[in-house]
Structure 1
Amino acid sequence: MVRFLHVADVHLGFNKYRQENPNRTFDFFTAFDSALQTYAIEAQVDFVLIAGDLFEERLITPGILNQAEYVLDKVRSAGIPVLAIEGNHDNCPYGVKSNWLRYLCEKDYLYLLEPDESGQLQPWDAEAARGGYMDLPCGVRVIGSQWYGASAPRAIQQLASQIQALPPAAGATILLFHHGLEGQVSRYQGALRYNELLPLRQAGVDYLALGHIHRHYAVEDWIFNPGSVEANSIQENQQQNPRGVLLVTLEKGSPQAELKRDYWQRPIHRYTLTLTPSNTVSHVESQLQQLVQRHRSDMAEAIVEVTLKGEVGFERGDLSVRSLQEQLQEAANAFIFRLGFAATPVAYQTYRDATAEPPPRAQIEEQVFTDLLASVAEYRDRAEPLAKVLMHIKEDLLQPNANIPDLYQWLADLSLES
C-alpha cells in the first residue's frame, strides 16, 4: 500500500486583503504548514505532490521564500520527498530559464519535474537536479509537466505519446498537471474537455493530479483536484466551495482519495440581511448590531461578510457604510469585516391609463411629490398630506413677493409638529 498527499494552489504570498488586514498573507503560510504537518508528516505518507502555484507570484520577497523553505524543510527532515510542477502564477516567463521553484529544487527542498527544453520527458538526474519523471522507491512513477495555457490540448497529445514510450513502471503512474476541467467552475474560459484528457488515461496514467481550480472535484476515479489550500476569496468559503488537500491511498484497483479540510484555515462567514421599504437608516444600523451580537462567537477572528439586500426607503449615501463597517468589525472582533450594500431604494410610480386623458398639471405635480415622499421611510405614512404642503410652498415661492425665510421657518415648524 502506498499513501501520498496531493496539494495544489498554495499561493504563498497572496496579498489581496493587505489593505483590510496585512496579516492575511500569513494565513496562507499557516494553512500550508498545518496541512503538511498533519497530513504528510504525522500521517507518514510516502511522498507529497504539489500540482502548481506554490507561490502567488513569480517575483516573491525573501520572507515568502523563507515560508516555503520552513515548511519544506520539515517535510524533508521527515524523509518525505516533495515532487512539484509550476503553475500559471509561478511559472517561468517566456525567455527566462529559472524561477523560485528551480531554486528550491537545486537546494534539495523539492523535485521540480518538467520536460526538457525540447519538450521531452527525461528520467530524473540527481546530479543535474533535473528531469521529467521519477520512479520512487515505493514503486510509483511520478511524471511532471509545465503550464501550457491555451496550448494544453496539443501538449496532452505530446505527453501521452511520450508516456507510452517510457520504460514500463513498477507500479502506478501519476501525472502532475496544472489545468482545469470543463464544468467544474462557472465563468472559466479555456477549461479542458474530458475527452481531451482521455489520451493520458489511454497512455497509462492511473492518477491525474490536477491543480488550478480552487474547488475539489474527482472524475471517473482517475482525475483528482484538491482545490486551494486556503481561500483566495470570500466566495471560496468551505460551505460554498469545498476544498483542501487529498490524502490518497494506492492499492490494487482505483485510487482512494479523501478530501481533508480540518487543518488550520481562516474561518469565513457570510450573512445576508434582507431589508424592507419601512426600514430607516437607524433601523438598519440596529439590525446590524443585533446580527453581530447573535453571531459574535463565530465572527471572532474570522473573515465576515454581511450583505444588505431587498428594498430600502433611503438612498445608499444616507448609510455611512465605511464608518459602520469599522464599528461592526470592532464589535465582532473580526479579522476582516465587509459590509456590502446590494439593496435598492424603493421606487413608487402611480399607475395611469395610457388611453385616458392626461390629468391637470397640478395633479401630476402633486402625485410626483407624493411618490417621492412615499419612497422615503420616514415620510411614507404622511406622503399625501406632506405633498399638499409642498404644493402650497411651491405656489407661494412662485409669488413675486414670496418671503422665503418665512416659508422655510413654517416648514421647519411643521416638521417639528409632525
Structure 2
Amino acid sequence: MAVRFIHTADIHLGKTYRHSSGEAARYNDFFRTLAAIVADALAEQVDFVLIAGDLFHTGQILPQTFARTIETLQPLKDANIPCIAVEGNHDWIHRRDSISWMEALSQMGYLRLLRPSRTEEGGYHFVPFDEEQGVGGHLLVGDLNIYGLGYVGAQAGNHVERICEAVTTDHNLLLFHVGIWSFSPVEIGNMKPEESLPLAERFEYLALGHGHKPYIVETPEGRPYGFNPGSPERVNFGEQKYEKGYYLVNMEKERFDHEFRSTDPRPMQAVVVDLDGASDAEQALGIFRDHLTAVLGSLSERAGEHRRPLIDLKLKGKVAFHPFELSREQLRTVLDEVCQPLHVEIRNQLSLVSRGSAEESSGKSLADIEQEVLRELIEASSDYKERPDELVELSLAIRDLVLRGEVEDDELLALLERSEKIEGKS
C-alpha cells in the first residue's frame, strides 16, 4: 500500500520576545509556519502528518496559545488527516501528575500523541493507540506500523536496545525526539551514530526531531534511514545558516522517497561591527551607522520582503572610550533608521584602550567590567561576600534571560531557587 505523509518537528508554538514591540508579530510567526504546513498537507492529500516533538516552546503555555493551536490544526481534523506527535523536551511539564497540553489535544482528537508504557523491568511496551482515550504508543496506517517515543534525556543511546526488543512487527516507522551526534547542533538529548544503527534494522524510517538543522543519517552501506527536517521557522539566533522546511515522504513497497520542502521563515542575520580604534562614542556611532547601511540596507529593499528582520549584533574592537558610553538605546536608534528590525540581540564585546597610549590596553571587555562591578557590589555586603563568583554568574544569567525577552516563569523560578541555595550555603 502506498503511503504519503509530511514529517515536521520543532514548531515551538508560543515563542515570542516578551515586552518587545515585536512581541505579537514574532508570536504569529510560528503559527503562520504551522498553518502553511497544514495547508500543504491538504493540498498534497497526505495520509497523515508527523510532528517529532516540541510542538510548543514551553510546557506551560497560555490559554490563547492552546486555542490558537486548535484553530490551526482544525483543517487536518476536518479532513480526517491524523496528526501524529510525540513530546519533545520543550513540551514536558514539570509536574507529571498534571495533564499536559499535548495530552489534552490528543484527548480532543487534534493529535494522536504516542507515548509508550514501561514494563517492571524498565523495557518499553507500545500499546495500540486508543482513539477514545487519546493514549497509546503504536498506530497502524495501512500496513505501516508507526511507533512513537518522546524525549528521553541525555542517555538516549541506552534506550535503543529496549526499543528494538519491544517491536516485533514489519514495515515500521519510529517517531522519536532525539538528535544524532555529528549531525545535530543540540548538546543534550543526542545519541551517537553507532548507537542508532540498530534502529535502522528495525525501522525503515526514523522520524527525528530535537535539532533545528536538517540532516539525513545513513547506514555504513549508504542507505538513508534517519531523517531530521529541523525547525520550519528560525527559533534561535544562529539558525540563519540552516535550511528551513519539512519532508514530504512517499512510501511504496517499503521504499521511502523523501523531498525537502522549504518554508518561508522570518529573515535573520548576524552582523559583526568592528569599531577598533574609535576615539569616542560619537565616532564609533558613525562607523556603526555606515557599516549597517552597507550590510543591512538591502534587507528592507528586497522584493517581496515585508517582514522585519531579526538581528544578532556583535560589537568588537579596542576603543579609547568606556564601552558603556555606547548605549543600547543609541544602537537601537541607528538600527531602526537602517532596517527597522523586529528584534535585536546586542553583544558588546568592546575593549577599553588607555587614552595615553594605543599600546597600553587594559584588556578588559565590557563583560569583564560588568563582572568586576557586580563582584564589588556583592562583596560589599557581609551577607553574600563568601560566594561572589556564583552570585555574579546568577545575576548575569537573569540579566541575559530578561534582555532576550523570552524568559519563562519556571526558568526564573529555577534561578531564584538556585540563589536561595547559594544564600543558604553562605
Same fold (TM over 0.5): yes
Q: Paired residue for 1:245? A: 246
Secondary structure of the residue aligned to 2:232 is coil
Q: 1:43-67 deviations in whole A, cap 9, x for unaligned?
A: 2222100111111222211111012
Partners of 1:154 and 1:309 lie apart in 2 by 44
Q: Paired residue for 2:139? A: 134
Q: Paired residue for 1:153? A: 157
Match of 1:36 among 35, 38, 49: 38
Partners of 2:340 and 2:330 lie apart in 1 by 15
**Larger Cα Rg: Structure 1 or Structure 2?**
1
Partners of 2:259 and 2:316 lie apart in 1 by 38
Alpha-carbon contact 1:140-1:174 (below 8 Å) kept: yes
Partners of 1:320 and 1:343 lie apart in 2 by 12
Secondary structure of the residue aligned to 1:63 is helix
Secondary structure of the residue aligned to 1:255 is strand
Q: 1:308-351 deviations in whole A, cap 9, x for unaligned?
A: 2233333312322333323422542221234432232346xxxx
Residue identity matched to 1:29: F
Alpha-carbon contact 1:31-1:229 (below 8 Å) kept: yes
Equivalent positions of 1:4-403 (< 5 A) are: 4-16=5-17, 18-19=19-20, 21-23=22-24, 24-38=26-40, 40-91=41-92, 93=94, 95-96=96-97, 98-116=99-117, 118=119, 119-137=124-142, 139-164=143-168, 166=169, 168=170, 172-186=171-185, 188-202=187-201, 204-220=202-218, 221-237=224-240, 240-252=241-253, 254-261=255-262, 263-277=263-277, 280-294=280-294, 295-299=296-300, 301-346=308-353, 370-371=356-357
Partners of 2:267 and 2:18 lie apart in 1 by 15
Partners of 2:213 and 2:359 lie apart in 1 by 48
Partners of 2:189 and 2:87 lie apart in 1 by 18
Secondary structure of the residue aligned to 1:228 is coil
Alpha-carbon contact 2:173-2:205 (below 8 Å) kept: yes
Secondary structure of the residue aligned to 2:59 is coil
Alpha-carbon contact 2:114-2:149 (below 8 Å) kept: yes
Partners of 2:31 and 2:186 lie apart in 1 by 28
Alpha-carbon contact 2:238-2:270 (below 8 Å) kept: no
Q: 1:190-230 deviations in whole A, cap 9, x for unaligned?
A: 5211222222222x201111111111111100011111222
How has the CA–CA distance of structure 1 residues 198 and 345 changed in structure 2, closer, same or farther, with 3 Å as cutoff? same
Partners of 2:147 and 2:344 lie apart in 1 by 43
Q: 1:138-158 deviations in whole A, cap 9, x for unaligned?
A: x32211123221353333211
State the TM-score, normalized to the length of structure 2.
0.73
How has the CA–CA distance of structure 1 residues 152 and 373 changed in structure 2, closer, same or farther, with 3 Å as cutoff? closer
Aligned length: 344
Secondary structure of the residue aligned to 1:70 is helix
Residue identity matched to 1:223: G
TM-aligned CA deviation for residue 268 of structure 1: 0.6
How has the CA–CA distance of structure 1 residues 18 and 219 changed in structure 2, closer, same or farther, with 3 Å as cutoff? farther
Residue identity matched to 2:137: G
Q: 1:162-204 deviations in whole A, cap 9, x for unaligned?
A: 112x4x4xxx4210111111122457145211222222222x2
Q: Which structure has the highest strand share of the two?
A: 2
Partners of 1:25 and 1:242 lie apart in 2 by 21
Partners of 1:44 and 1:186 lie apart in 2 by 33
How has the CA–CA distance of structure 1 residues 373 and 57 changed in structure 2, closer, same or farther, with 3 Å as cutoff? closer
Provide structure 2 residue ranges, at least 5 long, that are not aligned to the other structure.
219-223, 301-306, 363-426
